[in-house]
Amino acid sequence: MSLFWRDIKLSMRSGGGALLGVLFFLAVIAVVPFAVGPDLNFLQRIGPAMLWIGALLSTLLGLDRLFQAERDDGSLDIMLMQETPFILTVFIKCAAHWVATGLPLVLATPLLGLLMNMDLLSIGAVSATLLVGSPAITFIGAVGAAVAVTLPRGGLLVSILVLPLAIPVLIFGVSAAYAAVEDPAPFLPPFLILCAITMFFAVIGPLAAAAAIRASTD
């Protein structure tokens, strides 16, 4: 638990980058209307998809430092030597990372939804799907971050490694968000699958990340 608060505190301090993700998210969404033109109906239609893509990319942005920063200053070694199972340590780090970088994205979504001319229901749907979907991206990203922990320029590699695995999250997230507005499609099934994906990766992610880090110590 002390690790959780330390990581939150670190992300708030200088160079922590808690708000970097939100700024990037804002930048991506803000340029979309300029790129696709002032067609309000069109913006409304692509809104949920754009928000999801923006959130996905922003989440991936800071993930590569998740373990690398710990490795660079030697903290990772000490954590590996403790009684606390390392899987649990990884899980707590992911949770803290999500609260510091993922949650602000969810909170910023309503505001950015207005930029995309979305109505209230659709904004609510996107926020809800991001709330349950974005932790999955963090957990998947943790595996990538763990694999790339020894690489000096792992940032882009992490994104590329992680993106294919994050596609299902994107598909079900966006389809649930659309289902809330378009009448015939049901909202609940894709939403529940999204929840299931998140819970699945909450277990598999830390497991794989812990194994990858243990294998890469040198």
Partner 1 sequence: MRIFAENLSVKRGEDLIFKDVSFELVPTESLTISGPNGVGKSTLLRALAGLLPIDNGLFEIQYDETELKPEPKPNAEYCHYIGHKNAMKAELTVLENLSFWQRTMAQDETVDEDLIMPPEAAVELLGLTHTLDLPFGFLSQGQRRRIALAKLFVSYRPVWLLDEPTAALDKSSSDNFAQITNRYLEKGGIVIAATHVPLGFKEVKQLEMTPPPLNESFF
Check binding of 87 to partner 1 (CB under 8 A): no
Q: How far is the CB of 18 from partner 1 (least distance, A)?
A: 12
Q: How far is the CB of 14 from partner 1 (least distance, A)?
A: 6
Check binding of 73 to partner 1 (CB under 8 A): yes
Check binding of 78 to partner 1 (CB under 8 A): yes
DSSP labels, the chain? -HHHHHHHHHHHSTT--HHHHHHHHHHHHHHHHHHH-S-HHHHHHHHHHHHHHHHHHHHHHTTTHHHHHHHHTTHHHHHHTSSS-HHHHHHHHHHHHIIIIIHHHHHHHHHHHHHTT--HHHHHHHHHHHHHHHHHHHHHHHHHHHHTTT-TT-HHHHHHHHHHHHHHHHHHHHHHHHHHHSSSS-SHHHHHHHHHHHHHHHHHHHHHHHHHHHHH--
Check binding of 211 to partner 1 (CB under 8 A): no
* Number of residues engaging partner 1 in binding (CB under 8 A): 24
Specify the residue, 1 or 35, whose C-beta has the smaller distance to partner 1.
1
Among 27, 31, 40, 72, binds partner 1 (CB under 8 A): 72
Check binding of 36 to partner 1 (CB under 8 A): no
Check binding of 152 to partner 1 (CB under 8 A): no
- Sites of contact with partner 1 (CB under 8 A): 1-3, 6, 9-10, 13-16, 72-75, 77-84, 217-218
